Each structure stands twice: as C-alpha cells, then as structure tokens.
Structure 1
C-alpha cells in the first residue's frame, strides 16, 4: 500500500536532496507494502541493506552542503548527530534475528515514517533554507505547502488505515495511553450490536464475561507497563446475548520510547473452542470408558480380578481402622465344564451372565462383586459378620436353580465358601481361606455353603 505520494511541493529546491528524498519515499512505501501483506516478510532484509546505502549517500551529500549553508555550528552538529542516530537505529534493526516477524517490520515502518516526516519538515528544511538560493522568497512560500502536504499525507494514511480496518475480517481497536479506545472497527459493532464508531471504554466491561473481566484488565495493564506484545482468550456477549470466545493479539503503540496506547486485533474462536471442548469431553469419556474396561470383566460387567484386589486392600485397611467385620463369599458354578461341552460356549457365557445377575440381586449397595476367573466369583461384604454373610449366601444358593436359560435346559447350582477377616490377614491369605472354604463345599457334595472359621486362618 502507498503511504506517501511524492508531490512537487515536497521539493526543497536542491536536485540531489530531492532525488534522495524521493528514494526514501519509495523505500518507505515498499516496506508498507510488505506490512500490508503484498510482500513476503523475508524481503525486508535486502530493503534494510538498501536503506543503509541510501543513508550513506544522502547523509554524505547533505554534509557536503553544510559548508555552503548559513547554519550555526550547533545546528550542524545536531544534524550530523541525527544522521548517526539514524544509521545506528537501522543497524540495530538489520542485526535482529527476528526481522521476519510482522511486529518487528511494523515497528521498523513506524520508525521510518517518523524519520521521513521529521527529516523533510525540520532538518532538511532548515538546511536548504540556509543555502544561498537565487529565489529565497519562492522557497519560503513553498514550505507552508510542504507542511500541509505532509499533514494531508498523514491524514490520508489514517483514513486508509481506518478504511482497511473497517473491511478487515478481524476485530480491531486501538486506544490512547489512558486506555480509552480511539477507534473500534465495524466488526466489533456488528458483533456486539452497537452503533458504528462506538468506543466507550467505560462500557466496554459490560460486554466481557464477568469471570474474564479482572483477567482482561490485568492483561491490558501488564502490556501497557511492559510495552511487550501479548495475547489473551476471553469471552464477550454478542448482539444475540450469547457468549463467544475471542483470541486477541495486543501490541503496545510506541513513539520512540514513549508509550502512546495499544492496538489490538481479535479473532472469533467460538467454533474452534467448542470443537476443542467437545473433543476434550470425548477424550475424557473415552478415557473413562477405557478405565472402566480395564477394571471390568467384559462378559458380566463385574469387577475383574485386578480391580477387585485393589478394593480388597482398601476394605481390609478400612475394616482394621474402623474395627468392623469384613466377610467374603467365594462362589463357583457346579460342573460348569459340562455345560460348555454339552451346549457350547455361547450357552456357558449365558450361564455366567445369569450367575452375575443373581449375585447382583443378593449383593448390598456397599458390597463389591467380581468375576476373578472362569466360573469363579467373589462377593466382598464390608461390615458383614458371618451371620449376615451366611444369609446372603443362602439367598444366592436358593435363587440360582430357579434361573432359566434359553440355550441351557439344566438348572444351575453353586458352591459357596464363606470366611471372615482374621487379625493379621493379608489380602492373599484372606482370599486363600475363602477358596479353602469353597473347596470344602465342593467336596461336601456341591450346591451348598461351607464356612472356614477365622481360627483356621493359617492352615492350608
């Protein structure tokens, strides 16, 4: 984009100086074109090199004119110092390793525009005025026009910026040092449902989500103090009353070392945020499902052996710390192998699912029920003594033969071993005694309950 247009009224009357000024205009406009997106950022480096060459030639030519000019020594020294500062600043920019970043290029452009205006309107103006000219009156008359042209150029630049900002697909605002927004583009007006040009900083907080207001204010204060760019995600209420998410990039505006405000561009990321949230929920749901699968027997939906052993250790610790009883029923289907052999594994699976359903019916809400392998099941009963556990075991034993299966015409019976936690029991020893009680029930004729008292804890 062309920021400055050359005008004959900008001419100083010195052909060499004017030609070099035109070249500076060209370099400035080329840099503006890059910032505007019509050039690629890597092209900045050779442009900086060209600017250094320009500076060397232009400053040398100007300094040769000092001997002809009626400038004071102090004015001449200031002019030369300004030249040196310019070269130093451009050298610093050229040495940066982040010259390909848009923020750096914009900062460079701002510096160059400020130099162009001050160089023509002030120092070079005084230099050429001090040269012996044939028509000094003509030159004197021209300089008010020069100032007017430059001011008009800056106004035109601002107008074009605002025009571009109004049509931009992002939400743009900028403020002065006080934080009052001097400009808000049309995108904001459309989103918030407010009149175009609205920029009331006092009312701005009304549109920000209450949970984000303090964080947003703190962000602006930090960026204003640090003079570093930053970004923030926050929510605003749109014209329909819904909350939408914005990602806002905020850059401090500097005039040399002086802070003059902020400029920001925001993008509506509501759709992306919702997709991310949905994805996170889906991942959480899948993770939960995987955790359930990792702890659950897929056929019966009961705890698997690994999950049961974790519960067992926890309940043993609770029983000991609370001084309460803990009982275990070890359940096994009688002659289950014959069911698989005679009716197939599909029938066997149906029987196992039926046993699990029967155990669930007899289990209390606080009990832990697991399938620990094959046709073996365990019911852990916190707070239950032998009498309570025997009652549940009898309920299971009575209910199971009444269950009918479409793929297995036979009645299914169970053998149950019962024991209670003894002092000094580990989880393995506790389960071992329940298994020994089950073995007694099997040897006693099956379809029965056998109890291994705690006094038998260390027998094998």
Structure 2
C-alpha cells in the first residue's frame, strides 16, 4: 500500500506540477486517499487468502504424514519422528523400546471375510494399540498389517507390561464380519530395548528379528531383546 501511495504521489506531482496551489493540494490528497481506500480491502482480502493457504498447507501436511485408513502416522512420518526422538534421547542416555507389531493371520482374514472386514480389523487394532500408549509415545502403520511403536523412557519391566497389554487388548476385540461371524484377532510383537545411542535402522532390524521369532513360535505373543547383546530377555507364552 505504501508503494502504491508513493507511486501515486510521484505521478500526481509530475502531472500537476504547473497547476495552481489548490488543485495541486487536492491532487496530492487524492494520491494518498484513493490508494488507501482501494488498497485497504485488497490488503484484508489478501490476508484472508494467506490464512486460508496456511490452513490448507497444514491440512495437507497432516494428510501426507498419516495413514488414510487408521489415521496413524505413515511409515515415512513414523521413521522421521522416531529418528528425531532417538537423537534427542541419545544426549541424555534415555532408555526406551522399539516395537514392531504384526496382525496375525491377516491374509486369512481378508480371504475368508473380505477386505472390508480386513480394513475394519486394522482400524480396530490401531485404536487398541493407541489406547495402550502414553501421550508422548510414537505409533505408526508401517504398511499392510504391520505397526511400529517407540516408547521413550521405559525400562524392561515397563516395556514388558506394554507388550503384554498390546496382546491382551487386541485379543479382546469383538469384531464381527459382514455376515455376523466373529473374527478372531491377535498380534505378534517383536521389541528391542535400548539404553544408549542406537540408530533407528539397527533397532528396527533387532525388533524385526524378534517379531519373526514371535510369529515362528506360535503368534499371539511378544519377544523382547536387548539392543546390544541381542539376547532374548522376555517371551510371552502362547495364549
């Protein structure tokens, strides 16, 4: 607006430089008043549009970071946030645990009850897992029927309690198919405990190894390991 007023003043000063004082004064006044009247509403309009663009951009960022079905973080966003949290935790030697969680026999659920029921199962599992967590914990859907959870500041005992809670909470879901048949749900959990600086990739690989063992030994159970020794420290018996 100030730029427009300056241009208008310069233009009128040149155009009315030979005019009498009164017309010149009126011309200079109009050079200030007219741009102000015109630019005011335009300025407000542009501010509103910029606000709308900021809101839209924020909404797009949220959509881009979250899984459309479960509303959890998607794989990319989960990895980025987990890496950032691990880096922050490393400066204070904060312990924690990383879990990989896989829905048991999910392909059979899709084949037997249909993909619509499979989607409902994933949403129900995601909700139960989220209900087991604290506000500062990080959870995401890593793809298909696999989920990831980062628990900052937990020791072995607390991690075991959470893993047990994952299994019990999902197993208690009463999901029925479109035909009214009960759909049994359970999860296998692989976890890795850490108390020093470890890369997300290394922790992910260790947790994935434990998840494989949990599924190979019967499913509906959890297996935890130490990030350094890679030795099993807890294993839940099959329910």
**TM-score range for the pair, normalised by the shorter chain length:** 0.7 to 0.9
Change (3 A) 1:297 1:110: same
Contact 2:98–2:151 (Cα < 8 Å) also in 1: yes
Q: How does 1:332-343 map to 2 (within 5 A)?
A: 332-343=102-113
Output the aligned Cα RMSD: 2.7
**CA distance in structure 1 between the aligned counterparts of 2:183 and 2:213, rounded to whole angstroms:** 24
Q: How does 1:2-401 map to 2 (within 5 A)?
A: 103-104=10-11, 107-111=14-18, 113=19, 174=29, 249-250=31-32, 265=34, 266-401=36-171
Shift of 1:109: 4.4
Contact 1:422–1:457 (Cα < 8 Å) also in 2: no
* TM, length-normalised to structure 1: 0.44
Shift of 1:454: 2.9
Match of 2:5 in 1: none
Q: After superposition, give the CA deviation of every residue in 1:271-298 in whole Å (9 maximum; x if it has no partner).
A: 4333222211211111011111111111
Change (3 A) 1:374 1:102: same
Detail structure 1 runs of 4+ shifted over 6 Å in the superposition.
none
**CA distance in structure 2 between the aligned counterparts of 1:399 and 1:104, rounded to whole angstroms:** 75
Unaligned 5+ runs, structure 1: 1-100, 115-153, 166-171, 175-247, 251-263
**CA distance in structure 2 between the aligned counterparts of 1:330 and 1:104, rounded to whole angstroms:** 70
Q: Aligned pairs, how many?
A: 220
Unaligned 5+ runs, structure 2: 1-7, 232-239
The structure, 1 or 2, with the larger RCO (C-alpha pairs under 8 Å, 6+ apart) is: 2
**CA distance in structure 2 between the aligned counterparts of 1:354 and 1:268, rounded to whole angstroms:** 56
Whether 1:415 and 2:185 are equivalent positions in the alignment is no
Shift of 1:305: 1.0
Change (3 A) 1:373 1:104: closer
Change (3 A) 1:310 1:278: same
**CA distance in structure 2 between the aligned counterparts of 1:108 and 1:332, rounded to whole angstroms:** 78
Change (3 A) 1:426 1:105: closer
Q: Which of the pair has more CA radius of gyration?
A: 1
* TM, length-normalised to structure 2: 0.81
Secondary structure of the residue aligned to 1:267 is helix
